[in-house]
Amino acid sequence: MPHPPLTVDALIPAGLPAGTVNFVTHAPEDAPAVVEATIAHPAVRRVNSTGSTHVGRVIGRLCGEHLTPSVLELGGKAPLVVLDADMDAAVDAAAFGAFANSGQICMSTERIIVDETIADTFVERRVSGVDEAVEAANDSEYGLSAAVFGRDADRALAVAHRIDSGICHVNGPTVHDEPQMPFGGVKASGWGCFGGMTGAYKFTDLRWITVQEGPRAYPFWPHAEGAPTTADGGTPETGTRSHEERAATTPPRTSRPSWTTPTGAAPSPPVLQVQQHPQQGQACQPHIQHLRHRLVLTAVQVHRFARGRERGRPWTVYYRMRAAGPAQLL
């Protein structure tokens, strides 16, 4: 059995609970079945894969089938663009980026693009001007890391913005990483990022949780004509307690107005008024009036409402609620 990597050797003796870190080995021919079974397992809620673009496409497809979010950091073909740069710094960065770890790094410099004005000093590939340099840098299906060298940092930064890569360093090598920074590529170099808060966002679920403060009015008003009632005359939602009784037992809100009117009476149901817009001929502008909110209809919904009335048929109005303010046609 292969010896586990140093990270596993360090984390398990450190006291992580059993099952927190799992090191799985398998024969090469079993890789497809093992990967598919791992992604399909309900305990796996995120997938992070670093590898080739070919394998990344397979993993991305499997994650899509199981609706499992994934972060894929795949291959790269990092370009280093040299403009009117400090030649010694550019040469050092190119040598480091190309030969560190024998070039076996996803960020390794693999293409050096040099402006023809300095080609006699530093020649790998000549280009004529910034536009051609950008075109050459983007002439790859990959887009992980890149670098631009130039004495004019603003000019070099403008070129960096035009390069299709997830990472680009100005006057620095393509091989550069920091744990707090987002790390990821574009195009065939994958999707998503890990590192820093970006990684935390990718591996957590954003949720929306609300707490209702006090009574809440709904479009189906209690005790309205045709509303369902219980045997003792109350509503299924509230029993025999009236709106006023519920409001009386609920502490008033400090940041938002109460659901009751100044006289203590329950608010009346929303009223829809269709009026002719003074500047749009026959166009209708809906006004839905309510004590605390304006319920705003879209133009399509107003059209359906108007057609329903013309035909004399029952109609249903769908709306969304927004903070109190002037009613308007969206």
Whole-number Å distance between alpha carbons of 165 and 98: 18
d(CA 207, CA 127): 50
List 63, 65, 73, 244, catalytic entry: 73
Question: Got the DSSP string for 164-188?
Answer: --SEEEESS-S----TTS-B--EET
Cα(50)–Cα(74) distance, integer angstroms: 6
Q: Rounded distance, CA 186 to CA 131, Å?
A: 21
Residue from 29, 36, 65, 106 carrying the catalytic annotation: 106
CA distance 108 to 173: 9
168 is catalytic: no
- The whole-angstrom separation of Cα 149 and Cα 97 is 13
Q: Which two tokens stand for residue 143?
A: 């887009």
Whole-angstrom Cα distance, residue 281 to residue 26? Answer: 74
Cα angle, residue 210 at apex, residues 293 and 45 outer, rounded to 5°:
135
106 an active-site residue?
A: yes
Contacts of 213 (CB under 8 A, 6+ apart): 250, 253, 256
Residue entry with tokens 């999707």: 191
The whole-angstrom separation of Cα 127 and Cα 136 is 8
CA distance 170 to 78: 13
CA-closest candidate to residue 259, choices 298, 218, 227 = 218
Is residue 267 within 8 Å of residue 217, measured between CB atoms? yes
- Residues recognised as catalytic: 73, 106
